[in-house]
C-alpha cells in the first residue's frame, strides 16, 4: 500500500491506466474520438482553470480520493451537439465522472497500490473548485473540438495536506 512518501511514484505507475480509463469513457459517452492534449502527469495540486467542475469523491478507511472533470460551461453544448436539454448534458458529465472513476479504482494495478475505494455521488461546483494540496494525476483532452480537464487526487487519511 502507498504511503505519503510513495504516493507520487505510485501515481506515476498508474498514470497510463488513468489515461486509458479517461479516453475510453470520454469516447463512449460523447460518441466521438478524443485525444490527449496535455499528457497526464503527477502533480501536487489540481490546476485551476475550468468554470464548471464535476467532483466525484471516493474513499476507504485509509484514503480519500476524488476525480474532477472540468469544462467550460459554454463548451458543454458543443460536446453533446445532438442533446438540447442542458440538464441532460450536465448529467452526462456526471455519468462520465462515474464511469472514469469506476474503471480506474477497479483496475488491478490501482487496487494493488491503494486498495478498494468506495465511490460517492458526483456533485458540481460552478467556478468554485479549490483543491487541497494532495498528490494527483492531471491532464487535458479534446473531444468534439472542446477541452476537458481531468484530475484524480488521493491522500492518506490522518496526514497533513
Distance in angstroms (rounded) separating the CA atoms of residues 120 and 107: 18
Percent pLDDT > 90 in the chain is 55
In the predicted structure, residue 160 carries a pLDDT above the cut 60: no
* φ/ψ (deg, to 5) at 104: -70, -50
Q: For residue 137, what is its C-alpha cell?
A: 494525476
pLDDT of 79: 85
Q: pLDDT class for 129, splitting at 50, 70, 90?
A: low
Q: pLDDT class for 80, splitting at 50, 70, 90?
A: confident
Q: What does the mean pLDDT of the chain come to?
A: 88
pLDDT of 132: 64
pLDDT of 140: 94
In the predicted structure, residue 161 carries a pLDDT above the cut 60: no
- Segment 109-129 mean pLDDT: 88
Q: pLDDT class for 74, splitting at 50, 70, 90?
A: confident
In the predicted structure, residue 90 carries a pLDDT above the cut 80: yes
Q: pLDDT class for 47, splitting at 50, 70, 90?
A: confident
What does each C-alpha distance from 54 to 77, 84, 96 come to in angstroms?
16, 20, 9
Give the DSSP H or E segment for 152.
strand 146-156
**CATH numbers and ranges of domains, the chain:** 7-156 (3.40.1550.10)
Distance in angstroms (rounded) separating the CA atoms of residues 93 and 33: 16
Amino acid at each position: 500500500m502507498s504511503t505519503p512518501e510513495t504516493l507520487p511514484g505510485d501515481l506515476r505507475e498508474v498514470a497510463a491506466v488513468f489515461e486509458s480509463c479517461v479516453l475510453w469513457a470520454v469516447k463512449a459517452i460523447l460518441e466521438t474520438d478524443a485525444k490527449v492534449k496535455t499528457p497526464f502527469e503527477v502533480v501536487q495540486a489540481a490546476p485551476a482553470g475550468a468554470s464548471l467542475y464535476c467532483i466525484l469523491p471516493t474513499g476507504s478507511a485509509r484514503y480519500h480520493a476524488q476525480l474532477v472533470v472540468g469544462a467550460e460551461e459554454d463548451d458543454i453544448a458543443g460536446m453533446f451537439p445532438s442533446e438540447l436539454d442542458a440538464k441532460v448534458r450536465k448529467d452526462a458529465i456526471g455519468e462520465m465522472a462515474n464511469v472514469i472513476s469506476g474503471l480506474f479504482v477497479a483496475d488491478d494495478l490501482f487496487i494493488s497500490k491503494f486498495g478498494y475505494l468506495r465511490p460517492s455521488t458526483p456533485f458540481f461546483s460552478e467556478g468554485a473548485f479549490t483543491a487541497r494540496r494532495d498528490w494527483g494525476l492531471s491532464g487535458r483532452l479534446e473531444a468534439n473540438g472542446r477541452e476537458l480537464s481531468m484530475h484524480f487526487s488521493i491522500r492518506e487519511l490522518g496526514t497533513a495536506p
